[in-house]
Amino acid sequence: MPELPEVETMRRGVAAAIGATITRVERPACRLKPIVVAPRIDVFRRRVTGRRIEAADRIGKRVSLRLDTGAAIVFEPRMTGLVLLAEPPDVEHLRFRLTLSGAEAEQLWFWDRRGLGSVRLVAPEQWDDLYGPGKLGPDALTIGLPQLQERLSTSRRAIKVALLDQRAVAGIGNLYASEILNVAQVHPALPCGRLTRNAWQRLHKAIRVVLEEAIHCEGSTLSDGTYRNALNDPGGYQNHHRVYDRAGQPCRSCGQGIVQRLVQAQRSTFYCRVCQSR
Ligand SMILES: [Zn+2]
């Protein structure tokens, strides 16, 4: 968390910074463990001050602002990072700030409670090493069925665990993997090699359906309240979760099964024994 729908919501929010010129770069004093900012802030500042933001993109679970130099500022929220245009939830966890001129947005913040996120200025020649095909699979919103099957079907892992592998397919994390498998009616512990052709088709369709629904609702804000969109408002998809974090309650897909919790690769998985029988 945040996963593809939350990061896509942030990206759409910060599109208001497109066309802006960066006038100031700050790393506010923070008494907590510092996040990764690369290169060093003085070098970073020298390379981006006076430059124009030309595009706002998403790379898997990261937001990228492309500059007129061809380089990009890449924000990786990891567990608790937020890319914001509005005042952050608190100043204590404010990690990075851009002051802008010439666009609708006047400031852009990176806020991170746990501090596992990062802000990197990435030159075009570094791009492939960091985000190229060897590091990151095709995006979950656009991957084709043959590609999905080719990248996952030879894996011996359980399908739920394989879906979290960003090298295979980019953007899906722990929350949406449970939701997607529920909609696809696939048991999370089924080894990839045992999915039928029909199951791959259902899975491919469910990936897009669930992610698009979640983007439409601006992502999921869980009970810890951490995730906010670029304007510091919560998402709404948590009210539509079919199985995630609902152990012991009825499955919202079939209304009959009781949601079960299972631990796979140290992460919780939620599923319904009725819709997702092996
Ligand atoms: Zn069910």
Q: Would you call 87 a catalytic residue per the annotation?
A: no
Distance from the alpha carbon of residue 11 to the mean position of ligand 1, in angstroms: 33
Q: What is the pLDDT of residue 2?
A: 94
Decide: 234 and 228 in contact? Cβ < 8 Å. Answer: yes
Comparing CA positions, the residue from 176, 28, 167 lying closest to residue 96 is: 28
Tokens of 142: 């656009």
Q: What is the pLDDT of residue 122?
A: 98
Q: Which entry of 27, 61, 120, 160 is annotated as an active-site residue?
A: 61
Q: What is the pLDDT of residue 29?
A: 86
Q: Would you call 61 a catalytic residue per the annotation?
A: yes
Distance from the alpha carbon of residue 262 to the mean position of ligand 1, in angstroms: 15
Q: What is the pLDDT of residue 225?
A: 86
Distance from the alpha carbon of residue 4 to the mean position of ligand 1, in angstroms: 24
Close Cβ partners of 79 (under 8 Å, ≥ 6 residues apart): 1, 114, 116, 117
Residue 244, helix vs strand vs coil: coil
Distance from the alpha carbon of residue 256 to the mean position of ligand 1, in angstroms: 6
Burial label, 214 (beta-carbon count in 10 A; 0-12, 13-18, 19+) = buried
Tokens of 129: 């090493």
Which residue type is seen at 37? V
Distance from the alpha carbon of residue 277 to the mean position of ligand 1, in angstroms: 9
Tokens of 36: 């990764």
Q: What is the pLDDT of residue 33?
A: 86
**Phi, psi (5° rounding) for residue 226?**
-65, -50
Q: Would you call 267 a catalytic residue per the annotation?
A: yes
Q: What is the pLDDT of residue 224?
A: 87
Distance from the alpha carbon of residue 243 to the mean position of ligand 1, in angstroms: 8
Q: Which entry of 78, 202, 267, 273 is annotated as an active-site residue?
A: 267
Contacts from 192-196 at CB under 8 Å and sequence distance 24+? 192/152, 192/153, 192/154, 192/155, 192/156, 192/157, 192/158, 192/159, 192/162, 193/153, 193/154, 193/155, 193/156, 195/153, 195/159
Q: Would you call 2 a catalytic residue per the annotation?
A: yes
**pLDDT one digit per residue (tens) for the chain, 278 residues:** 899 999 999 999 999 999 999 999 999 988 888 999 999 999 999 999 999 999 999 999 999 999 999 999 999 999 999 999 988 999 999 999 999 999 999 999 999 999 999 999 999 999 999 999 989 999 999 999 999 999 999 999 999 999 999 999 999 999 999 999 999 999 999 999 999 999 999 999 999 999 999 999 999 999 888 999 999 999 999 999 999 999 999 999 999 999 999 999 999 999 999 999 98
Comparing CA positions, the residue from 227, 230, 266, 223 lying closest to residue 245 is: 223
Domains and CATH numbers, the chain: 4-131 (3.20.190.10), 145-272 (1.10.8.50)
Distance from the alpha carbon of residue 176 to the mean position of ligand 1, in angstroms: 16
Distance from the alpha carbon of residue 249 to the mean position of ligand 1, in angstroms: 10
Q: Which entry of 2, 77, 88, 188 is annotated as an active-site residue?
A: 2
Comparing CA positions, the residue from 205, 206, 49, 66 lying closest to residue 131 is: 66
Distance CA 275, CA 191 (A): 17
Tokens of 98: 């851009």
